[in-house]
Amino acid sequence: MEQWNGRYYAPLVVEVTDQDDGKQVRTILERRLGVSRKLLSQVKQTEHGLTLNEERVYTTAIAKSGDTIRLRMEQEESEDILPQPLPIEIVYEDDDLLIVNKPAGMIVHPTHGHYTNTLANGVVHHWKQRGERVRFRPIHRLDEETSGLVAIAKTSYVHQQLSEQLQAGTVMKLYRAYVYGVPVPTAGTINEPIDRDNEQPHLRVVRQDGYPSVTHYEVIASYPGMEGTAAASVRLKLETGRTHQIRVHMRHIGCPLIGDKFYGMEHGRIEAWELAAGRHALHAEILGFVHPIKKVPMEWQAPLPVELASLEKLLGMNGN
């Protein structure tokens, strides 16, 4: 990673054009880079955080055509996260982003009583080995038992930009699930609000006073199954990102995920399917968004993990 004086990340550089002549530095940065007021407030506190032609300035300084504005963010570290050598599958990495394929059974971020063996511990160790000082900033999270792609920002600006893309619904997140039953119709949208279960607050339920939640789905394959129980492979796209959203919505339409210990089948589970999956059968398969620095659309895909590939094979065999 390019550094400046060993204290800052590589600067964001804006060349002032005729269109921006006479405007305040703050206005130019907001218009050209989409920099938030919060980030500007942080950056201007440091000696070289905000400069105009390499001179430290206030955000209200007036720029002229031909001037150069540089925004430098101080390097940060996640000092509260213990570096730990863990097997981390890196799908993509540059100075700004890290995309990893998280295995099932791994928590994304340390929580109370669970401070090690998380994705964060492994990523922080990876950066330490590379000599990088970076704070762990996941853009989104996956449940412990959900496998697949997770995006991690390496600077506060990239985190802000990707968070805004998430809010705007322009981040593509496609999931693969294996469920009991076959959804009818085979493609559609589940638009049902979700909130906590009053009796079991750690769980979520569909309830009319809940938060708006929208899941789009499409059946990829259906399997006659065994013991009179059908199954399906389903691709899902999230329009919102509520906790346990896919699992709750699929249960709501009568097609709970195979292997789901909280939202799965209450009766009629197929033991062979449950054992093959070993956990709820959900995988974050495809992730795509516009790179905040390169300004180009990028997309990544994570193949099915071994256990879900085995489940798919088993379902196909039972269907013959």
Of 38, 71, 104, which closes a domain? Answer: 71
Q: What are phi and psi of 186, to 5 degrees?
A: -75, -10
Of 140, 168, 196, which closes a domain? Answer: 168
Structural domain that includes position 311: 172-318
Residue 76: per-residue pLDDT: 87
Nearest in space to 310 (alpha carbons), one of 281, 284, 290: 281
Under 8 Å CB-to-CB from 13, ≥6 apart: which residues?
68, 69, 70, 71
Task: Judge if 185 and 245 occupy the same domain.
Answer: yes
Q: What is the DSSP letter of 279?
A: S
Long-range contacts of 13-19 (CB under 8 A, 24+ apart): 13/68, 13/69, 13/70, 13/71, 14/68, 14/69, 14/70, 14/71, 15/66, 15/67, 15/68, 16/63, 16/64, 16/65, 16/66, 16/67, 16/68, 16/69, 17/65, 18/65
pLDDT digits (tens, 9 = 90+) for 117-155: 999 999 999 999 999 999 999 999 999 999 999 999 999
Query: 217 has which bridge partners?
Result: 188, 236
Q: Which of 20, 96, 143, 260 is catalytic?
A: 143
Task: Judge if 141 and 272 occupy the same domain.
Answer: no
Q: How far apart are CA 310 and CA 316, in angstroms?
A: 10
pTM of the prediction?
Answer: 0.89
Of 117, 146, 168, which closes a domain? Answer: 168
**CATH number for 48:** 3.10.290.10
Residue 113: per-residue pLDDT: 82
95 is catalytic: no
Mean pLDDT of the residues in the chain: 93
Report the domain count for the chain: 3
Residue 78 placed within a domain = no
**CATH number for 144:** 3.30.2350.10
Helix (H) or strand (E) segment spanning residue 106? none
Q: What percent of the chain has pLDDT over 90?
A: 81
Helix (H) or strand (E) segment spanning residue 300? strand 297-301
